[in-house]
Chain A
């Protein structure tokens, strides 16, 4: 473009540098991208991250195992439950315990609710960046309903701190299952509104189709996970590949698209929300009775009524709260399919009550590196669509 212009007019032009972010409405947090522009076309893009580096991994080295759970909430703050799930399951793998079946089913329900909640924010913000503001309002209305459910079960709207190592903080409150039933019955209907506003909308399709294509090979080379990978034609989902919890007993499909563009990622996420509804439906049907915590008082605190009466239980309670438990020495890696992709926790234990090292493999961080490869060649206006479609969350990228 530059060369053509110079040839036509004889005027020499320069490549200009444009700084996008960190305070920019459509970088979805605090990311900075240095764009080198030739006219309106991006020649080179250099993402700069680290504006939200909070030292979570270092803090975790100074906390007992159970105290790290609230910190994991704040990684991918759009879906706290998925983060907690990955962490508590990694520690459970280290300890070699298995939680009761009822707790597993409830965890599946919570993780899928978190997936819907996370995708709703993506849907709203991505559409908002491209110009469809109404969708944001619809998406947040549905998200408020999920907040209500999470608040009823855990007492907080976000950052719930509800999952425990060894089970859940509590059983379901009365009427909660009916609330979920009502929500999943209404939700597919409500999802038709953004669907009707966007899917066949000509403006939306022209802004998204053929934009930000990640070819299949590039996606595999960059080890992308989650919706960006599945939109490029690779069927990989940890829920199917290495089933954890009770996902192998539930029926659901993995949506896969081959185009690899922004529109394909949109279609994949929309379908994932519908599949999550299917999973929740089945999980509610199959939900068994029984306890939600394991019985080992070395890992979970004993029931309070026993604490008040029996000295051994009181000692267990004191020891567990003030010191935590001591898992065996060793290393463990456990990954779950978070809404953004593979969320892995790698824990090194030296046998003390604190993790020797906690390394988090955040999906957004890995997915974000695709930006450098796919932004060049696009117009500036498309940059926001592409960033939005990768759905980065910076609490997780910078940790």
Chain B
């Protein structure tokens, strides 16, 4: 969030500065280059699984079409099968009836995998504080980036994915399994 960054708070710095040599040695020296290579390739071609549930799905589609054209970043390959995707974009209201399906889709994705919660409903239940709605998809699956808005603009989603890229870059070691 730019407002927070201006105030000297970058919420996206997940890990602190590296401090000691011992700490660096603890990391796998042999694999560091491979690590960097893996992270580079992973963050530059994220294949999203578009879980378009409600209004946000339309803005997500908007992000993939002519004006905002996410193909510019290598994110354009919509994979409706979870086995081929590594980024799940939960766009819309997750209801109690839909919750087991969301969980199952997440479980079916192969590692490494990331999740973006797009829009207020997916983040925290949004305007629907009711008996039928799961209050935030993070009750079901771990979420990496939250993109506020109702619905967010396509730019907001692209910004969120850029932040996810930063986050992948910061990861200590690329998960091999």
Asked whether any CB of chain B lies closer than 8 Å to the CB of A107, the reply is: no
What's the least CB distance linking B91 to chain A, in Å? 11
A53 to B53, CA, bound (A): 11
- CB < 8 Å neighbour of B133 from A22, A55, A140, A158: A55
A-B contact count (CB 8 A): 90
A157 to B56, CA, bound (A): 11
- CB < 8 Å neighbour of B65 from A25, A51, A59, A137: A137
Q: Which residues of A contact B168 (CB under 8 A)?
A: none
Q: Which residues of B contact A159 (CB under 8 A)?
A: 55, 150-151
**Secondary structure at chain B's binding surface: helix, strand, loop or mixed?**
loop
Asked whether any CB of chain B lies closer than 8 Å to the CB of A43, the reply is: no
What's the least CB distance linking A182 to chain B, in Å? 17
* 18 additional A-B residue pairs with CB within 8 Å, beyond A29-B57, A55-B132: A22-B98, A22-B101, A23-B80, A29-B52, A29-B53, A50-B95, A54-B95, A54-B130, A54-B132, A55-B131, A58-B131, A59-B130, A78-B58, A136-B65, A137-B66, A140-B61, A144-B62, A147-B62
Which of A69-77, A213-221, A266-274, A383-391 participates in binding chain B? A69-77
A158 to B55, CA, bound (A): 8
What's the least CB distance linking B6 to chain A, in Å? 23
Asked whether any CB of chain A lies closer than 8 Å to the CB of B153, the reply is: yes
Q: Is the CB of A158 within 8 A of B127?
A: no
- Can you identify 9 A-B contacts, CB atoms within 8 angstroms? A50-B95, A51-B53, A55-B128, A55-B131, A56-B128, A58-B131, A140-B61, A147-B62, A159-B151
Q: A77-B58, A137-B66, A141-B66 are in contact. Are A71 and B127 (CB under 8 A)?
A: yes
- CB < 8 Å neighbour of B101 from A23, A50, A53, A136: A23
Asked whether any CB of chain B lies closer than 8 Å to the CB of A231, the reply is: no
Q: What size tier do the contact residues of chain B reach?
A: 20 to 34
**Secondary structure at chain A's binding surface: helix, strand, loop or mixed?**
loop
What's the least CB distance linking B63 to chain A, in Å? 10
Q: Is the CB of B67 within 8 A of A144?
A: yes
What's the least CB distance linking B71 to chain A, in Å? 11
Asked whether any CB of chain A lies closer than 8 Å to the CB of B59, the reply is: yes
Q: In residues 131-149 of chain A, which contact B (Cβ within 8 Å)?
A: 136-137, 140-141, 143-144, 147
What's the least CB distance linking B60 to chain A, in Å? 12
Q: What size tier do the contact residues of chain A reach?
A: 20 to 34
Asked whether any CB of chain B lies closer than 8 Å to the CB of A105, the reply is: no
A378 to B81, CA, bound (A): 25
Q: Is the CB of A158 within 8 A of B59?
A: yes
Q: Which residues of A contact B129 (CB under 8 A)?
A: 59
Q: Is the CB of B80 within 8 A of A24?
A: yes
Asked whether any CB of chain A lies closer than 8 Å to the CB of B140, the reply is: no
Q: Is the CB of A157 within 8 A of B97?
A: no
- CB < 8 Å neighbour of A54 from B51, B105, B128, B153: B128
Asked whether any CB of chain A lies closer than 8 Å to the CB of B93, the reply is: yes
What's the least CB distance linking B162 to chain A, in Å? 20
Asked whether any CB of chain B lies closer than 8 Å to the CB of A395, the reply is: yes
Q: Which residues of A contact B58 (CB under 8 A)?
A: 77-78, 121, 158
A222 to B95, CA, bound (A): 28
Asked whether any CB of chain B lies closer than 8 Å to the CB of A52, the reply is: yes
Q: A70-B127, A141-B67, A158-B151 are in contact. Are A395 and B62 (CB under 8 A)?
A: no
Q: Is the CB of B65 within 8 A of A141?
A: yes
Asked whether any CB of chain B lies closer than 8 Å to the CB of A334, the reply is: no
What's the least CB distance linking A60 to chain B, in Å? 11
Q: In residues 26-62 of chain B, which contact A (Cβ within 8 Å)?
A: 51-55, 57-59, 61-62
Asked whether any CB of chain B lies closer than 8 Å to the CB of A30, the reply is: yes
A121 to B59, CA, bound (A): 12
Q: Is the CB of A144 within 8 A of B66?
A: yes
Q: Is the CB of B130 within 8 A of A30?
A: no
The 8 closest A-B pairs by CB, nearest first: A55-B130, A77-B55, A140-B65, A54-B128, A55-B132, A141-B66, A25-B80, A51-B98
